[in-house]
Amino acid sequence: MAEKVEFASNGAGAEGYLALPPAGSGPAVIVIQEWWGLVPHIHALVERLAGEGFLALAPDLYHGVATREPDEAGKLMMALEIPRAAADIAGAADYLAARDETAGGIGVVGFCMGGTLALWTPTVSDRVVAAAGFYPAPFRGWADLDAQWARYHGKSAVIHAAEGDGGSGAGNVTDAVAAITAAGGEVSVYDYPGSQHAFFNDTRPEVYHPSAAATAWQRTVEFFRGTLA
């Protein structure tokens, strides 16, 4: 079952797309959108995670705006108000924690812009204990995001790095790995030879890499099962 839901966000309201697992309960995962917004591709990923046994919720960080035009997407991404995004994501975690169907921990996964925000999420919500970032885009520096890395202590992360972005050697990836490790967290980074940015997005055939996408998905599901159960 999937539906649009509303939840509190630091005294304001926010919306998201929620799907429940067939069993009715399970660990929870927040899904962070790409720069396009809360488009059907993200809805499909929410439902796919639910099929794997998780409560999945994608908060709408653009609050009703979405696009398929790269120029517009870039403007929306750069205009994203980081304090509001932090409140929306933390509010999503609180909402999931309060639901009776949540049985286990809470994780987060994101793609592109969302990959960066997913890795950042454990620094803004103590409820989120595991993060998976797909090809995190350096649209903001970690300092600009005011990442409180100390909050990663005892938490875990996995990063899926695209070769076209520089792979595991990309600066934003190495900086995150160093900070998470220094905080006492655990982090694994996977490289995907021959992959381009957005290799997981099957709605973009020009960059979609089926074998890399399948491997990254399997690793992500196993990661969440191991950290959120």
Rama region for 167: left / alpha / beta (φ>0; ψ in -120 to 50; rest): left
Q: Which residues contact 175 (CB under 8 A, 6 or more apart)?
A: 142
What tens digit of pLDDT does each residue of 84-93 get?
999 999 999 9
What tens digit of pLDDT does each residue of 17-26 get?
999 999 999 9
Task: Specify whether the CB–CB gap between 117 and 142 falls below 8 A.
Answer: no
DSSP per-residue codes, 185-224: -EEEEEEETT--TTTT-TT-TTT--HHHHHHHHHHHHHHH
What tens digit of pLDDT does each residue of 73-126 get?
999 999 999 999 999 999 999 999 999 999 999 999 999 999 999 999 999 999
Write down the pTM of the prediction: 0.98
Which residues form the domain of 152? Answer: 2-228
Instruction: Work out how many domains the chain is built from and give that number.
Output: 1
Q: What is the CATH number of the domain that holds 75?
A: 3.40.50.1820
Task: Specify whether the CB–CB gap between 200 and 214 falls below 8 A.
Answer: no
Paired tokens of 193: 């030879």
